[in-house]
Protein backbone atom coordinates (compact mmCIF):
# COMPACT_ATOMS: atom_id res chain seq x y z
CA UNK A 1 0.00 0.00 0.00
CA UNK A 2 1.42 3.38 -1.06
CA UNK A 3 1.46 6.12 1.56
CA UNK A 4 0.60 9.57 0.26
CA UNK A 5 3.19 12.09 1.41
CA UNK A 6 2.28 15.19 -0.56
CA UNK A 7 0.04 16.77 -3.14
CA UNK A 8 -0.75 19.82 -5.21
CA UNK A 9 -2.58 23.10 -4.77
CA UNK A 10 -4.85 23.79 -7.73
CA UNK A 11 -7.01 26.64 -8.93
CA UNK A 12 -10.22 26.32 -10.95
CA UNK A 13 -11.02 28.92 -13.60
CA UNK A 14 -12.49 29.33 -17.08
CA UNK A 15 -10.21 29.09 -20.10
CA UNK A 16 -11.24 32.58 -21.13
CA UNK A 17 -10.49 34.15 -17.75
CA UNK A 18 -7.51 34.47 -15.45
CA UNK A 19 -9.69 34.85 -12.37
CA UNK A 20 -9.66 31.83 -10.11
CA UNK A 21 -13.02 30.83 -8.65
CA UNK A 22 -11.86 28.05 -6.36
CA UNK A 23 -8.63 26.93 -4.70
CA UNK A 24 -8.21 23.39 -3.46
CA UNK A 25 -5.70 20.73 -2.55
CA UNK A 26 -5.46 17.15 -3.72
CA UNK A 27 -3.17 14.17 -3.53
CA UNK A 28 -4.38 13.11 -6.98
CA UNK A 29 -3.85 14.81 -10.30
CA UNK A 30 -5.66 18.07 -11.03
CA UNK A 31 -7.54 16.42 -13.92
CA UNK A 32 -8.91 13.70 -11.65
CA UNK A 33 -9.90 16.23 -8.99
CA UNK A 34 -11.66 18.43 -11.56
CA UNK A 35 -13.67 15.46 -12.83
CA UNK A 36 -14.70 14.75 -9.25
CA UNK A 37 -15.86 18.34 -8.82
CA UNK A 38 -17.90 18.16 -12.02
CA UNK A 39 -19.52 14.91 -10.89
CA UNK A 40 -20.45 16.38 -7.51
CA UNK A 41 -21.89 19.47 -9.19
CA UNK A 42 -24.00 17.31 -11.49
CA UNK A 43 -25.24 15.47 -8.40
CA UNK A 44 -26.81 18.68 -7.13
CA UNK A 45 -24.64 19.70 -4.16
CA UNK A 46 -25.60 23.21 -3.10
CA UNK A 47 -22.61 25.46 -2.48
CA UNK A 48 -21.55 28.67 -4.17
CA UNK A 49 -18.77 26.90 -6.08
CA UNK A 50 -20.92 24.02 -7.31
CA UNK A 51 -23.76 26.38 -8.22
CA UNK A 52 -21.27 28.33 -10.35
CA UNK A 53 -19.81 25.13 -11.82
CA UNK A 54 -23.22 23.87 -12.95
CA UNK A 55 -23.76 27.03 -14.99
CA UNK A 56 -20.55 26.61 -16.99
CA UNK A 57 -19.71 24.63 -20.09
CA UNK A 58 -17.62 21.85 -18.58
CA UNK A 59 -15.23 21.93 -21.54
CA UNK A 60 -14.38 25.53 -20.63
CA UNK A 61 -13.51 24.78 -17.00
CA UNK A 62 -9.88 24.00 -16.23
CA UNK A 63 -7.78 23.37 -13.13
CA UNK A 64 -4.26 24.81 -12.94
CA UNK A 65 -1.55 23.34 -10.75
CA UNK A 66 -0.36 26.23 -8.60
CA UNK A 67 2.03 24.51 -6.24
CA UNK A 68 3.48 21.10 -5.37
CA UNK A 69 3.99 20.50 -1.67
CA UNK A 70 5.67 17.62 0.13
CA UNK A 71 4.02 16.60 3.40
CA UNK A 72 0.30 16.66 4.15
CA UNK A 73 0.54 19.19 6.97
CA UNK A 74 2.50 21.56 4.74
CA UNK A 75 -0.04 20.92 1.97
CA UNK A 76 -2.85 22.12 4.22
CA UNK A 77 -0.92 25.21 5.25
CA UNK A 78 -0.09 25.95 1.61
CA UNK A 79 -3.78 25.94 0.70
CA UNK A 80 -4.50 28.44 3.48
CA UNK A 81 -1.69 30.65 2.20
CA UNK A 82 -2.87 30.53 -1.41
CA UNK A 83 -6.49 31.33 -0.52
CA UNK A 84 -5.44 34.26 1.66
CA UNK A 85 -3.06 35.57 -1.03
CA UNK A 86 -5.62 35.42 -3.85
CA UNK A 87 -8.32 37.00 -1.69
CA UNK A 88 -6.00 39.91 -0.96
CA UNK A 89 -5.35 40.11 -4.69
CA UNK A 90 -9.08 40.57 -5.30
CA UNK A 91 -9.73 37.18 -6.90
CA UNK A 92 -13.48 36.25 -6.74
CA UNK A 93 -12.96 32.97 -4.91
CA UNK A 94 -15.99 30.89 -4.00
CA UNK A 95 -14.26 28.95 -1.23
CA UNK A 96 -16.39 28.84 1.91
CA UNK A 97 -13.47 28.12 4.21
CA UNK A 98 -10.01 29.51 4.76
CA UNK A 99 -8.52 26.20 3.60
CA UNK A 100 -6.42 23.59 5.33
CA UNK A 101 -6.93 19.92 6.10
CA UNK A 102 -10.62 19.91 6.97
CA UNK A 103 -13.48 22.44 6.91
CA UNK A 104 -11.64 25.09 8.93
CA UNK A 105 -12.88 28.63 8.98
CA UNK A 106 -16.46 27.91 7.84
CA UNK A 107 -18.76 30.22 9.77
CA UNK A 108 -22.04 30.83 7.97
CA UNK A 109 -23.33 34.37 8.33
CA UNK A 110 -26.99 35.33 8.05
CA UNK A 111 -26.24 36.80 4.62
CA UNK A 112 -24.67 33.53 3.44
CA UNK A 113 -27.65 31.53 4.65
CA UNK A 114 -30.09 33.90 2.96
CA UNK A 115 -28.12 33.73 -0.29
CA UNK A 116 -28.11 29.92 -0.15
CA UNK A 117 -31.85 29.92 0.52
CA UNK A 118 -32.50 32.11 -2.52
CA UNK A 119 -30.32 29.92 -4.73
CA UNK A 120 -32.14 26.75 -3.67
CA UNK A 121 -35.69 28.15 -3.79
CA UNK A 122 -37.64 26.51 -6.59
CA UNK A 123 -34.76 24.27 -7.57
CA UNK A 124 -35.80 20.79 -8.63
CA UNK A 125 -34.02 18.20 -6.53
CA UNK A 126 -32.00 15.38 -8.02
CA UNK A 127 -33.49 11.97 -7.25
CA UNK A 128 -31.70 8.76 -8.12
CA UNK A 129 -33.67 5.55 -8.04
CA UNK A 130 -32.90 1.84 -8.43
CA UNK A 131 -29.54 1.16 -10.10
CA UNK A 132 -28.74 4.88 -10.31
CA UNK A 133 -28.71 5.14 -6.52
CA UNK A 134 -25.19 4.49 -5.19
CA UNK A 135 -26.68 2.51 -2.28
CA UNK A 136 -28.81 0.29 -4.52
CA UNK A 137 -28.79 -3.36 -3.46
CA UNK A 138 -26.98 -2.69 -0.19
CA UNK A 139 -28.28 -2.75 3.38
CA UNK A 140 -27.28 -0.96 6.55
CA UNK A 141 -25.84 -3.23 9.21
CA UNK A 142 -27.89 -4.12 12.28
CA UNK A 143 -25.39 -2.23 14.44
CA UNK A 144 -25.85 0.93 12.36
CA UNK A 145 -29.64 0.63 12.46
CA UNK A 146 -29.59 0.17 16.23
CA UNK A 147 -27.33 3.20 16.60
CA UNK A 148 -29.69 5.39 14.57
CA UNK A 149 -32.67 4.04 16.50
CA UNK A 150 -31.05 4.96 19.83
CA UNK A 151 -30.09 8.43 18.58
CA UNK A 152 -33.59 9.19 17.30
CA UNK A 153 -35.55 7.68 20.17
CA UNK A 154 -37.93 10.29 21.54
CA UNK A 155 -36.70 12.97 19.12
CA UNK A 156 -39.94 13.00 17.12
CA UNK A 157 -42.55 12.39 19.79
CA UNK A 158 -44.97 14.67 21.56
CA UNK A 159 -44.43 18.37 21.01
CA UNK A 160 -41.23 17.64 19.05
CA UNK A 161 -43.31 16.07 16.27
CA UNK A 162 -43.97 18.71 13.57
CA UNK A 163 -47.56 17.40 13.27
CA UNK A 164 -48.21 17.42 17.01
CA UNK A 165 -51.69 18.74 17.81
CA UNK A 166 -52.74 19.04 14.18
CA UNK A 167 -56.24 17.83 13.40
CA UNK A 168 -58.47 17.72 10.35
CA UNK A 169 -57.43 19.88 7.43
CA UNK A 170 -54.39 21.13 9.37
CA UNK A 171 -52.82 17.66 9.23
CA UNK A 172 -50.73 16.98 6.07
CA UNK A 173 -52.33 13.53 5.69
CA UNK A 174 -55.86 14.93 5.74
CA UNK A 175 -57.82 13.78 2.70
CA UNK A 176 -55.24 11.11 1.79
CA UNK A 177 -56.74 7.74 2.75
CA UNK A 178 -54.43 4.76 2.90
CA UNK A 179 -54.91 2.43 -0.10
CA UNK A 180 -56.71 -0.80 0.69
CA UNK A 181 -53.70 -2.77 -0.52
CA UNK A 182 -51.45 -1.02 2.02
CA UNK A 183 -53.99 -1.54 4.81
CA UNK A 184 -54.18 -5.24 4.02
CA UNK A 185 -50.40 -5.57 3.89
CA UNK A 186 -49.97 -3.82 7.25
CA UNK A 187 -52.69 -5.99 8.76
CA UNK A 188 -50.98 -9.17 7.59
CA UNK A 189 -47.60 -7.98 8.86
CA UNK A 190 -49.00 -7.42 12.35
CA UNK A 191 -50.73 -10.73 12.76
CA UNK A 192 -49.40 -13.48 14.98
CA UNK A 193 -45.71 -13.16 15.71
CA UNK A 194 -45.65 -9.90 13.74
CA UNK A 195 -47.75 -8.22 16.41
CA UNK A 196 -45.48 -6.41 18.90
CA UNK A 197 -47.74 -7.67 21.72
CA UNK A 198 -47.82 -11.27 20.50
CA UNK A 199 -47.41 -13.68 23.41
CA UNK A 200 -47.38 -10.90 25.98
CA UNK A 201 -49.71 -10.56 28.94
CA UNK A 202 -50.68 -7.28 30.52
CA UNK A 203 -49.06 -6.72 33.90
CA UNK A 204 -51.16 -6.43 37.04
CA UNK A 205 -50.40 -2.72 37.11
CA UNK A 206 -51.61 -2.25 33.53
CA UNK A 207 -54.74 -4.30 34.16
CA UNK A 208 -55.50 -2.17 37.22
CA UNK A 209 -55.10 1.02 35.18
CA UNK A 210 -57.38 -0.31 32.44
CA UNK A 211 -59.97 -1.32 35.01
CA UNK A 212 -59.90 2.10 36.67
CA UNK A 213 -60.27 3.85 33.32
CA UNK A 214 -63.36 1.78 32.48
CA UNK A 215 -64.98 2.00 35.89
CA UNK A 216 -68.59 3.13 35.62
CA UNK A 217 -68.68 2.65 31.86
CA UNK A 218 -71.31 0.16 30.58
CA UNK A 219 -69.38 -2.79 29.22
CA UNK A 220 -71.56 -5.57 27.73
CA UNK A 221 -70.08 -8.97 28.42
CA UNK A 222 -70.99 -10.30 24.96
CA UNK A 223 -72.43 -9.29 21.61
CA UNK A 224 -75.77 -10.78 22.59
CA UNK A 225 -75.73 -8.75 25.79
CA UNK A 226 -74.91 -5.60 23.81
CA UNK A 227 -77.76 -6.36 21.40
CA UNK A 228 -80.22 -6.75 24.25
CA UNK A 229 -79.06 -3.56 25.97
CA UNK A 230 -78.80 -1.25 22.99
CA UNK A 231 -81.35 -2.69 20.56
CA UNK A 232 -84.04 -4.81 22.21
CA UNK A 233 -84.45 -2.68 25.34
CA UNK A 234 -84.53 0.52 23.28
CA UNK A 235 -86.78 -0.80 20.52
CA UNK A 236 -84.09 -0.39 17.90
CA UNK A 237 -83.71 -2.74 14.92
CA UNK A 238 -80.46 -2.69 12.95
CA UNK A 239 -80.29 -4.39 9.58
CA UNK A 240 -76.58 -5.05 10.16
CA UNK A 241 -77.09 -6.78 13.53
CA UNK A 242 -77.31 -10.56 13.26
CA UNK A 243 -79.35 -10.76 16.49
CA UNK A 244 -81.86 -8.19 15.25
CA UNK A 245 -82.25 -10.29 12.11
CA UNK A 246 -82.70 -13.46 14.16
CA UNK A 247 -85.23 -11.78 16.46
CA UNK A 248 -87.17 -10.48 13.47
CA UNK A 249 -87.26 -13.98 11.98
CA UNK A 250 -88.51 -15.47 15.24
CA UNK A 251 -91.25 -12.84 15.50
CA UNK A 252 -92.42 -13.53 11.94
CA UNK A 253 -92.60 -17.26 12.60
CA UNK A 254 -94.78 -16.66 15.64
**Is 71 in contact with 6 (CB distance < 8 Å)?**
yes
Provide the CB-side half-sphere exposure for 11 (13 A, CA): 22
Q: Is the pLDDT of residue 39 over 90?
A: yes
* Neighbour tally for 189: CB within 10 Å: 10
Residue ranges, comma separated, of all CATH 3.40.1440.10 domains in the chain are: 6-120
Q: Is the pLDDT of residue 245 over 90?
A: no
Lowest model confidence (mean pLDDT) among 94-108, 110-124, 178-192: 94-108
Q: Is the pLDDT of residue 30 over 50?
A: yes
Provide the CB-side half-sphere exposure for 229 (13 A, CA): 9
Residue 105 has a pLDDT of 64
- Quote the Cα angle for 231-222-236, to 5°: 5
Measure the CA–CA gap between 62 and 59, rounded to whole angstroms. Answer: 8
CATH of domain 6-120: 3.40.1440.10
Residue 69 has a pLDDT of 93
In angstroms, how far is CA 186 from the centroid of its own chain? 23
Residue 25 has a pLDDT of 94
Measure the CA–CA gap between 112 and 134, rounded to whole angstroms. Answer: 30
Residue 1 has a pLDDT of 44
The CA-atom distances, in angstroms, between 169 and each of 74, 131, 136, 158 are: 60, 38, 37, 20
Phi-psi sector, 6: left (phi>0), alpha (psi -120 to 50), beta: beta
Task: Name which of 94, 19, 84 is nearest 52 in CA terms.
Answer: 94
H helix runs in 7-69, sequence order: 30-42, 48-54
Q: What is the mean pLDDT of residues 31-52?
A: 92
Measure the CA–CA gap between 171 and 162, rounded to whole angstroms. Answer: 10
The CA-atom distances, in angstroms, between 17 and each of 29, 61, 92, 94, 96 are: 22, 10, 12, 15, 21
Measure the CA–CA gap between 144 and 137, rounded to whole angstroms. Answer: 17
Phi-psi sector, 199: left (phi>0), alpha (psi -120 to 50), beta: left
Lowest model confidence (mean pLDDT) among 56-65, 155-164, 176-185: 155-164
Q: pLDDT tens digit string along 175-191?
A: 888 899 999 999 998 89
Amino acid sequence: MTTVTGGVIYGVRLRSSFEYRYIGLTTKSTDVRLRQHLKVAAGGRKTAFYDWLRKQDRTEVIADTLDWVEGLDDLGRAEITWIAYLRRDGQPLLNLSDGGLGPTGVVWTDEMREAARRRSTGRVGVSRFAEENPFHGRKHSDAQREKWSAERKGSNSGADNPNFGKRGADHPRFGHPMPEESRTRMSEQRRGAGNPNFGKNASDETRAKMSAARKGRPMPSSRRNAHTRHHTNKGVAMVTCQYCIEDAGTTNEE
